[in-house]
């Protein structure tokens, strides 16, 4: 790498290089926003873009010898099979690494038109990759940036090529040219957006469905699979990634404190929970996408809720429900039910949306009975009573808590209350993993997060012969008034317990105490509601836009147009008098203030500019009188002299110099004063003599006094 001396870069060429660099950066950021790139590729490409920006700006002047570039290229050609077989282990990631390596090389070495053409192709490939990999709102932002920079790049490229062919020698102001080119790029981009926005909502998206099978790009959220180790839920609670949006059909249901049930875990070896093995029951929705998950018999005190769930890609095939789902409507081929878990086939478990009709059991009542409920017997019951080889003190503590109580529901409440009252909540994990995590939690640390509370309660219930299981899911989240949906993030992840009660069935218990430091709804949280609402709109009307959405939009537009066309005049006749009365009331209350503000605005518009000019001139004249004159004040005083002469009917022609103008004046006294003023002007303006300013002020006063 050697330093080179380059000639002057034309404004068009500099604008072209920065536009092309921005085009590459927008495509690169779009791919980074998908979360698909690994950290080394992100860092190396970013450094290459920064290095090229420094070279283009003239901060650095570097040239890489061709031998070095060739050697690096050959080395990567040899590395590509290693990347394919051992590092990435797949074709697409290794190919993406290859494309970005070529991009890095060309970014730092491009000099010819062929290099620039290749960079344009690479930028387009970056955006195309982001289109396949990303489905979030940030892709739209980078798409707009790519569009503007693309117009700027190709416009300046054509000007650059034409200028090099014609060898034009005209000098062009670089700053003015850049502003004009940027304005053209923005205006053309706006025109493109306006033209294509209509087509966007008339053409359902199908390309993404065709490309989805090429790559899995889902966000990985541990804890909702068939195998969960202690500590995983606590780790994801430290993150704050949106995973689910829920829209309640009835406004009164938005404030319900619900638990969104995901995975049911039965087997425990002391460290890891796992679900029941086996394929489970396959349930196929009907032609309308509806499937019945549970019987719809009316329970005493129960209520029903209906809601729509929009589940993000979280690398889990689990479906999340509040309460007991009775009916489900979903666009999927097969729903599997096994031991309380509801899952999708892997090919369907991406961005999932579904409608649910659920039953919420009465809370706070322990005497509900279901005469139709079959008891839990035999091998199934024994499976929910298995206790791993753990510290015997755990069982002794459970027996001590329940005492001589014979009611299972009361025993469960006692254990739940004991854990919630005598232990603390924390997301910190033990510094070293203990041999017996449950015993360590109960008898040494006495603090932990929801997984430890739920696991401890489940084991203690089993030790007193109450079938139990651990459930993972989410808390209710926070309501977003902008989007009208419940926002649920990874930080809302939670674990609780379900215990089998005679003639009642699986009953929910939550032994986890409240977080002593709950998150507050801050200003940033409220601002985040707008971002989340935009993301919901993007997912709903862009990513998941299909023929159904197209028909729904067309129906709404048709209804709106008919309503406006048929009843506009009727509504105007009814609302006109009411609007007039409201206007009169508003005018009586605020009319004086508004009239005063309007008068002030009118005066400012008429005389504000002249008044400001007078005040500025007066301030500078006072500065001159204090002996603080500068060379620029000479022009101010000379212009004031011309204004005095103009009032006398004498105007200076533009083609006369100040000294020539002084010599053509006819009035002797005025001519002498003007000539002296002109001499003082030249001394102050070009000679830098500050004392000449005082003479100019005195001569101006004498000139104004001449009659």
Instruction: Say if residue 309 is in the same domain as residue 440.
Output: yes
Pair 166, 284 in one domain: no
Whether the model clears a pTM of 0.75, i.e. scores above it, the answer is no
Q: What pLDDT sits at residue 659?
A: 84
Residue 696 lies in a domain: yes
Q: Which of 294, 152, 316, 290 is nearest to 223 (CA)?
A: 316
As a whole number, mean pLDDT of residues 277-291 equals 81
Q: Which CATH number does the domain housing residue 458 bear?
A: 3.10.620.30
The pLDDT assigned to 614 comes to: 58
Tell me the per-residue pLDDT of 612-657, one tens digit each, with 9 for 90 and over: 655 665 666 666 655 556 777 788 788 888 888 888 778 888 788 8
Rounded average pLDDT over 132-149: 76
Q: Let me know whether 524 and 633 are in one domain.
A: no
CA angle in degrees (0–180, nearest 5) for 48-51-52? 85
End of a domain among 473, 505, 537?
Answer: 537
DSSP letters for 574-638: HHHHHHHHHHHHHHHHHHHHHHHHHHHHHHHHHHHHHHHHHHHHHHHHHHHHTT---TTHHHHHH
Domain-located, residue 37: yes
pLDDT of residue 576: 60
Whether 187 is in a domain gets the answer yes
Structural domain includes residue 170: yes
Distance, CA of 424 to chain centre: 35
Same structural domain, 380 and 509: yes
Integer Cα distance of 211 and 580 in angstroms:
58
Question: How confident is the model at residue 555, as a pLDDT?
Answer: 61
Give the chain's domain count. 3
SS3 state of residue 136: coil
Find which of 61-65, 234-238, 640-644 is predicted with most confidence, using mean pLDDT. 640-644
Mean pLDDT (the chain, rounded): 77
pLDDT tens-place string over residues 375-430: 788 888 889 999 988 899 999 999 999 988 888 999 999 999 999 999 998 888 77
- Mean pLDDT across 297-325: 80
Read off the pLDDT band of 338 (50, 70, 90).
Answer: confident
Q: Identify whether 504 is part of a domain.
A: yes
Number of H helices, E strands in the chain: 20, 22
Q: Are residues 167 and 69 in the same domain?
A: yes
Of 153, 179, 213, the residue that ends a domain is 213
Rounded to 5 degrees, φ, ψ at 271 are -130, -30
* pLDDT tens-digit readout, 171-223: 444 455 667 777 777 777 777 667 666 555 555 544 444 444 444 444 445 44
> Are 348 and 300 found together in one domain?
yes
Predicted confidence (pLDDT) at residue 547 exceeds the cutoff of 60? no
**380 and 521 share a domain?**
yes
My answer on whether 632 and 532 are in the same domain is no
Residue 353 or 348, more confident: 353
Say if residue 244 is in the same domain as residue 149: no
* Full residue range of the structural domain in which residue 198 is found: 2-213
Is 50 within a domain? yes
- Sheet strand arrangement including 352-360: 290-292, 324-330, 352-360, 303-311, 242-248, 485-489, 478-480
**Are 520 and 638 members of one domain?**
no
Reference 331, options 174, 612, 555, 548; nearest CA is 548
Torsion over CA of 107, 108, 114 and 116, rounded to 10 degrees? 40
Indicate if 384 and 280 belong to the same structural domain: yes
Q: How far is CA 419 from the centre of its chain?
A: 39
- Where is average pLDDT lowest: 26-30, 158-162, 586-590, 596-600? 586-590
Question: Per-residue pLDDT for 665 more than 50?
Answer: yes
Tens of pLDDT along 432-486? 788 888 999 999 999 888 889 999 999 999 999 999 999 988 988 888 888 888 8
SS3 assignment, position 324: strand
pLDDT of 1 higher than 60: no
Same domain? For 263 and 117 the reply is no
- The closest of 216, 222, 265, 255 to 241, measured between CA atoms, is 222
Which residues, other chains included, contact 168 with Cβ-Cβ below 8 Å and sequence gap of 6+?
none
Asked if 425 and 233 count as a contact pair (C-beta separation under 8 A), the reply is no
pLDDT of residue 367: 53
Residue 614 domain flag = no
Give the CA radius of gyration of the chain: 38
Residues 6 or more apart from 670 whose CB is under 8 A from it?
A: 645, 648, 650, 703, 706
**Is 23 domain-assigned?**
yes
Q: How far apart are CA 587 and CA 585, in angstroms?
A: 5
Q: How far is CA 389 from CA 227, 232, 249, 268, in A?
A: 19, 22, 47, 10
Cα–Cα distance for residue pair 158/435, rounded to 1 Å: 71
Final residue of a structural domain among 213, 244, 275? 213
pLDDT (0 to 100) of residue 480: 85
At 374, is the pLDDT very low, low, confident or very high (cuts 50, 70, 90)?
A: confident
């Amino acid at each position: 790498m050697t330093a080179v001396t380059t000639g002057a870069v034309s404004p068009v060429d500099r604008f072209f290089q920065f536009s092309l660099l921005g085009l590459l950066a927008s495509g690169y950021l779009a791919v980074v926003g998908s979360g698909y790139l690994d950290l080394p590729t992100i860092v190396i490409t970013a450094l290459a873009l920064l290095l090229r920006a420094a070279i283009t700006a003239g901060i650095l002047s570097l040239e890489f010898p061709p031998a070095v570039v060739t050697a690096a290229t050959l080395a990567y050609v040899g590395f590509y099979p290693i990347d394919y077989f051992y590092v990435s282990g797949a074709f697409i990631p290794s190919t993406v690494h290859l494309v970005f390596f070529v991009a890095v090389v060309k970014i730092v070495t491009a000099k010819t038109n062929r290099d620039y053409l290749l960079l344009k192709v690479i930028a387009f490939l970056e955006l195309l990759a982001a289109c396949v990999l990303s489905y979030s709102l940030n892709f739209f932002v980078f798409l707009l940036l790519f569009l503007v920079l693309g117009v700027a790049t190709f416009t300046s490229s054509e000007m650059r090529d034409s200028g090099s062919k014609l060898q034009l020698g005209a000098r062009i102001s670089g700053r003015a040219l850049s502003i004009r080119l940027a304005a053209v790029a923005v205006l053309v981009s706006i025109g493109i957006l306006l033209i294509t926005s209509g087509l966007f909502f008339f053409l359902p998206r199908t390309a993404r469905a065709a490309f989805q099978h090429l790559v899995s790009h889902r966000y990985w959220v541990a804890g909702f699979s068939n195998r969960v180790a202690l500590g995983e839920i606590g780790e994801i609670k430290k993150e704050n990634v949106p995973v689910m949006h829920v829209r309640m059909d009835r406004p009164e249901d938005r404030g319900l404190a619900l638990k969104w049930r995901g995975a049911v875990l039965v087997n425990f070896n002391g460290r890891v929970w796992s679900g029941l093995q086996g394929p489970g029951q396959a349930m196929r929705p009907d032609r309308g996408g509806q499937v019945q998950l549970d019987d719809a018999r009316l329970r005493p005190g129960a209520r029903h809720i209906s809601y729509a769930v929009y589940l993000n890609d979280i690398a889990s095939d689990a479906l999340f429900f509040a309460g007991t789902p009775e009916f489900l409507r979903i666009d999927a081929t097969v729903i599997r039910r096994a031991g309380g878990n509801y899952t999708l086939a892997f090919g369907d478990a991406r961005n999932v949306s579904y409608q649910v009709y659920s039953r919420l059991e009465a809370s706070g009542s322990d005497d509900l009975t279901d005469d139709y409920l079959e008891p839990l017997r035999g091998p199934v019951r024994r499976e929910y009573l298995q206790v791993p080889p753990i510290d015997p003190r755990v069982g002794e503590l459970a027996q001590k808590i329940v005492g001589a109580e014979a009611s299972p529901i009361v025993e469960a409440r006692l254990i739940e209350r004991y854990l919630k009252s005598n232990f603390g909540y924390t997301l910190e994990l033990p510094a070293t993993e203990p041999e017996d995590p449950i015993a360590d939690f109960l008898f040494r640390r006495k603090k932990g997060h929801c997984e430890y509370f739920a696991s401890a309660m489940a084991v203690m219930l089993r030790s007193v012969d109450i079938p139990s299981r651990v459930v993972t899911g989410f808390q209710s989240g926070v309501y977003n008034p902008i989007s009208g949906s419940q926002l649920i993030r990874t930080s809302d992840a939670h674990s609780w317990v379900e215990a089998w009660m005679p003639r009642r069935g699986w009953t929910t218990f939550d032994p986890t105490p409240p977080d002593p430091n709950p998150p507050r709804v801050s200003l940033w949280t409220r601002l985040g509601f707008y971002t989340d609402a935009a993301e919901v709109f993007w997912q709903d009307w862009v990513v998941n836009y299909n023929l159904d959405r197209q028909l729904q939009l067309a129906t709404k537009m048709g209804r709106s147009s008919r309503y406006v066309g048929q009843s506009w005049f009727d509504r105007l006749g009814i609302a006109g008098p009411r609007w007039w009365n409201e206007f009169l009331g508003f005018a009586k209350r605020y009319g004086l203030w508004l009239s005063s503000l309007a008068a002030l605005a009118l005066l400012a518009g008429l005389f504000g500019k002249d008044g400001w000019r007078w005040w500025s001139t007066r301030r500078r004249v006072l500065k001159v009188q204090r002996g603080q004159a500068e060379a620029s004040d000479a022009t101010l005083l000379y212009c004031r002299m011309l204004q005095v002469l103009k009032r006398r009917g004498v105007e200076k022609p533009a083609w006369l110099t100040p000294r020539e103008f002084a010599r053509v004046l006819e009035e002797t006294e005025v001519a002498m004063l003007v000539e002296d003023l002109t001499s003082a002007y030249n001394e102050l303006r070009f000679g830098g003599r500050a004392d000449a300013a005082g003479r100019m002020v005195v001569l101006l006063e004498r000139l104004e006094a001449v009659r």
